[in-house]
Amino acid sequence: MTPPVRPSRTMRRVDLVVGLAAALAARAGRRRRPAPAVDRSVAVIVHRVRRSCIDEVHGADQVHGADVAELELVSASGGPLPGWRPGAHVDVVLPSGRVRQYSLCGDPVERGVYRIAVRRIPGGGGGSREVHTLTPGTALTLRGPRNAFPFAAAPSFLFLAGGIGITPIAPMVRAAAANGADWRLVHTGRTRASLPLSDELAALDPERVEVRPDDAHGGPPSAEELLAGHPDGAAVYCCGPPPMIEAVRRAMPAGRRLHSERFSPPPIRDGRPFTIEVAGGPSVPVPADGTALDALRAVRPDLAFSCRQGFCGTCHVPLLSGETVGDPAGPGLTALCVGRAAGDRVVVDLPRTSPEKDPRPVRQGPRVPARPARR
């Protein structure tokens, strides 16, 4: 494996500027814009697969199936991978053509390998189940990395992670520890065995890491418990299930901002029903509490999606008529997963090929010399 490469002075200056800009934006209360797509494809090979729970024995004989798969990905051509910052994720193009976003959970200093950890979601869209079938030697394509959850310098940090939400948090914890910051991590989830990376992070400083499995405490912690011991001025970073993030957000002291990333679609608030018409048919009603993506997938189950939060671009399609609201797609486009009609109807064009094969054109970015980066 490529030995760790320390960031250059230039990279450290860039980090400083990015950190200051993020801190100023946070102080100004500005909303974070969706991370722009990165038109860069990276060919990688699955180097190693580790499953967190596969050896957990309950009672005399029960062996639980692996809940979380941790994958190490290396460059197909053998060199360093594109650099990244804590909080970054990559688009993973799976062998089926599905595209899914996963946070990079390794150490940015290690330029020869990307690490991702994926929780299997039995009733999901199939992406996590497919990741769990990958074996060493499998070739994959990545896009990115890009960062929708930027980490800014601060004197002290409180990190809150729910289950697999530890993935974007882990590199932040390492960076805080490496910089000598005052930090504390609370990692919560259903069972001890379902909490990946926590042992590794506890090894940095066991006194600063609290692993809190629900089954040992009679249920999940309250937001007040999570924020207990929250030092004045500490930056709070949280990633986990939406109810956890919302509860922490409500419990934050007045005037303090929560840095968070969710792994699931945002709730639909004050939604109104509308009709989405596909050029050439059909027209599909979209309910007040549903998305255009879900409505269209009822008639076009092959319609591609990934993040369900508007930023990845997988479901962006041409908007032929009508206006949308809450829509991060660019001019002339709409994000089916979050965009809603401003009026009663919009008309869109849909790809005619199977989107599961990821029909988006990929512009060729600079050639990556040789390989290694969340819910």
Binding site for ligand FES (CB under 6 A): 305-308, 310-316, 335, 337
Q: Which is nearer to ligand FES, 163 or 355 (CB)?
A: 355
| Spatial separation of the C-alpha atoms in residues 217 and 211, rounded to whole Å | 11
Inter-residue long-range contacts of 225-232, CB under 8 Å, 24+ positions, other chains counted: 226/160, 226/186, 226/188, 226/251, 227/158, 227/251, 227/252, 229/158, 229/184, 230/158, 231/156, 231/158, 231/182
Q: Which is nearer to ligand FES, 317 or 373 (CB)?
A: 317
| Spatial separation of the C-alpha atoms in residues 20 and 204, rounded to whole Å | 26
| Spatial separation of the C-alpha atoms in residues 159 and 145, rounded to whole Å | 22
Q: Which is nearer to ligand FES, 158 or 335 (CB)?
A: 335
What's the closest the beta carbon of residue 308 comes to ligand FES, in angstroms?
5
What's the closest the beta carbon of residue 174 comes to ligand FES, in angstroms?
28
Q: Which is nearer to ligand FES, 148 or 248 (CB)?
A: 148
Q: Which is nearer to ligand FES, 234 or 296 (CB)?
A: 296
Q: Which is nearer to ligand FES, 26 or 335 (CB)?
A: 335
Closest CA to 372 of 71, 97, 156: 71
Q: Which is nearer to ligand FES, 73 or 312 (CB)?
A: 312
Residue carrying structure tokens 């945002």: 266
What's the closest the beta carbon of residue 264 comes to ligand FES, in angstroms?
12
Inter-residue long-range contacts of 240-247, CB under 8 Å, 24+ positions, other chains counted: 240/160, 240/161, 240/162, 240/163, 240/165, 240/188, 240/375, 241/162, 241/163, 241/165, 241/375, 242/266, 242/267, 244/160, 244/162, 244/165, 244/188, 244/220, 247/222, 247/223
What's the closest the beta carbon of residue 114 comes to ligand FES, in angstroms?
20
DSSP 311-352: -S-TTEEEEEES-EES--S-TTEEETTT-EESSSEEEE---S
What's the closest the beta carbon of residue 43 comes to ligand FES, in angstroms?
22
What's the closest the beta carbon of residue 311 comes to ligand FES, in angstroms?
6
Residue carrying structure tokens 């009609």: 341
Q: Which is nearer to ligand FES, 276 or 307 (CB)?
A: 307
Q: Which is nearer to ligand FES, 91 or 110 (CB)?
A: 91
What's the closest the beta carbon of residue 99 comes to ligand FES, in angstroms?
9
What's the closest the beta carbon of residue 152 comes to ligand FES, in angstroms?
25
- Helices and strands, counts by H and E, the chain: 8, 20
Closest CA to 93 of 81, 85, 103, 102: 102
What's the closest the beta carbon of residue 336 comes to ligand FES, in angstroms?
6
